[in-house]
Amino acid sequence: MLKYLLIIAGLWLGQLTTAHAQDTVAAPMKWDLQACLDYAKKYNITIKNLRWDARTGEQNLLQSRAAKLPNLNATLTQSVVNSNNANPVVGGFQTQANASGNYGVTSNWTIYNGGYLNNDVKQKNVLLESANLNVQQAENDITLQITQAYLNILLQKENIVYLQELVGTSQSQLELGKQRFDAGALSRKDYLQLEATLANDKYNLTSAINAHRTNLITLKQILQLPSSTNFDIVQPDTIVTNQAVVSLPEAEDAAVKTRPEVKIGELGVQSAQYELEKSRAGALPTISLGAGLSSGYSDNQDLKYFSQINNNFYQRLGVTVAVPIFANRVNKSNIERSKIQIEQAKLSLQGTKTTLDQAVEQAYINVLNAQAQLTTAESQWAINQESFKITNEQLRLGAFNTIDLLTQKNLYTQALQAYVQAKYNTILNKKIYEFYTGVPVTL
């Protein structure tokens, strides 16, 4: 009996565990906008690759700094030479093997090379900073993509709520119509129109639900989440659409000062200038200091090993001055190419600033247009909502006109969808405009 009770208890506990696991899997993880942005910045493949590029830049900088220090090399050679030598005692030749060894330590230190090493360190610093800014620029791009996808989901969520209310209203209208149809106060044609209206509202609701699912998939793909991830977003309590808009000159000035693409262009000019200085160093003398210690031994001598090491101990210290006299125009061509790169970098920076100014101005225009559309859409929605309520009340009181009802309902539906679209379009364009000025994206 105890055995059977234990088996039953085990099965019961197993069912509870399975049910709990299924509930855990079924429950979707809900992220707010900031959680989506943090996840993308941490795990996005493009951003991670750019971070590795920055790590490579760090190693290049460390190597450039180390090039200013003296190097140190040690050599150790052990050799055995086998040869045929003449035998002075018995005549002829005999085979003889001799062992020998050579040991040495050498060092070279570049003291002056026209500033090449110093400028190389400065250039590597600039390139590292530029690599880090590339990461920031990629994060900015992914931020706008995620924000747009997130707002599209919120738009569909709100649209679904309104369409559900509309389906409920159509259902109530159909029930009232059924009562009047049964009482003979409503024609079958008008009743069928009410049924068709309810079916159309349900179709619109289904389309909105499917659009919501599609937008969720889009956001998951941007976040690079596995397709099996059960995912949803957090609905903010309130979304403000009537904040003041920064003036265009202030926005353009802030964008130039904060946007990473401008700083990357400026660093590109600096890097080209350092490259020019490095090219000029090729035409200047190079002074280096060299030193060495060496010794060796051979077993064909009568002295012992350590005596030979001591006797053969050799020290060297010298200064080398290398003066380039004729280099087949290599240095002059390098200098001219570097000057061309500077001009190209300046043009690239100018183009970046122009593109940024145009983008900020377009964002400003989009915000103003979106706000104007929202004001108009909100007014139309309020008017059509009131008209639709009056029409519903007339239906309830028996003053029924199918054409007026359907007309008012269509106008209300169109005004509602226009309002929701204008609302989130305003939010998106305002967030983009503020983002250009360095304001973080929040909801």
Q: Which of 371, 380, 420 shows the shortest CA–CA distance to 152?
A: 420
Q: In whole angstroms, what is the distance from residue 282 CA to residue 275 CA?
A: 11
Residue 8's pLDDT is 44
The band of 391, judged by pLDDT with boundaries at 50, 70 and 90, is confident
Q: In whole angstroms, what is the distance from residue 38 CA to residue 364 CA?
A: 27
Instruction: Please say if the pLDDT value at position 21 is more than 50.
Output: no
Instruction: Please say if the pLDDT value at position 405 is more than 60.
Output: yes
Percent of the chain with pLDDT over 90: 63
Q: Which residues in 206-276 belong to E strands, given as ranges?
A: 231-233
The band of 91, judged by pLDDT with boundaries at 50, 70 and 90, is low
The band of 86, judged by pLDDT with boundaries at 50, 70 and 90, is low
Structure tokens at 369: 């247009």
Is 7 exposed, middle or buried, given 0-12, 13-18 or 19+ CB atoms closer than 10 A?
A: exposed
Interval 227-272: pLDDT, tens: 888 889 998 877 777 778 889 999 999 999 999 999 999 999 999 9
Helix (H) or strand (E) holding 101: strand 93-112
Interval 41-59: pLDDT, tens: 999 999 999 999 999 999 9
Instruction: Please say if the pLDDT value at position 20 is more than 80.
Output: no
Domain boundaries, the chain: 29-69+113-284+324-436
Backbone angles phi, psi at 398, to 5 degrees: 100, -10
The band of 137, judged by pLDDT with boundaries at 50, 70 and 90, is very high
DSSP 59-89: HHHHHHHHTTSPP-EEEEEEEEEEEEEE-TT
How far is Cα of residue 82 from the mean position of the Cα atoms in its chain?
66
Q: What is the mean pLDDT of residues 264-285?
A: 95
29-69+113-284+324-436 CATH pick, 3.30.70.20, 3.40.1450.10, 1.20.1600.10, 3.30.465.10: 1.20.1600.10
Residue with more model confidence, 442 or 22:
442
The band of 318, judged by pLDDT with boundaries at 50, 70 and 90, is very high
Q: What is the mean pLDDT of the chain?
A: 87
User: What predicted TM-score, i.e. pTM, was given to this entire model?
Assistant: 0.82
Give the length of the chain: 443
Residue 227's pLDDT is 80
Sequence-distant (6+) residues with CB within 8 A of 112 are 285, 286, 287
Q: In whole angstroms, what is the distance from residue 242 CA to residue 427 CA?
A: 9
DSSP 103-139: EEEEEEEEEESTTHHHHHHHHHHHHHHHHHHHHHHHH
Q: Which residues in 186-246 belong to E strands, given as ranges?
A: 231-233
Instruction: Please say if the pLDDT value at position 95 is more than 70.
Output: no
Residue 262's pLDDT is 96
Strand pairing partners for 94? Answer: 85
Interval 59-84: pLDDT, tens: 999 999 999 999 999 999 999 877 66
Sequence-distant (6+) residues with CB within 8 A of 352 are 261, 262, 264, 265
Residue 113's pLDDT is 92
Give the count of beta carbons closer than 10 Å to the beta carbon of residue 312.
16
Instruction: Please say if the pLDDT value at position 16 is more than 80.
Output: no
Structure tokens at 361: 């101005």
Q: What is the mean pLDDT of residues 284-305?
A: 91
3-state secondary structure 334-396: HHHHHHHHHHHHHHHHHHHHHHHHHHHHHHHHHHHHHHHHHHHHHHHHHHHHHHHHHHHHHHH
The band of 85, judged by pLDDT with boundaries at 50, 70 and 90, is low
Interval 334-365: pLDDT, tens: 999 999 999 999 999 999 999 999 999 999 99
Helix (H) or strand (E) holding 97: strand 93-112
Instruction: Please say if the pLDDT value at position 160 is more than 90.
Output: yes
Buried/exposed 368-403: b ≥16 CB within 10 Å, e otherwise: eebbebbeebbebbeebbebbeebbeebeeeebebe
Q: Which of 352, 265, 282, 259 shows the shortest CA–CA distance to 120?
A: 282
Give the count of beta carbons closer than 10 Å to the beta carbon of residue 121.
19
Structure tokens at 285: 């003398």
Residue 24's pLDDT is 38
Residue 83's pLDDT is 66
Residue 22's pLDDT is 40
Residue 23's pLDDT is 40
The answer to whether 265 and 345 are in contact (CB under 8 A) is: yes
Interval 206-232: pLDDT, tens: 999 999 999 999 999 999 998 888 889
Instruction: Please say if the pLDDT value at position 92 is more than 80.
Output: no
Q: In whole angstroms, what is the distance from residue 38 CA to residue 387 CA?
A: 46
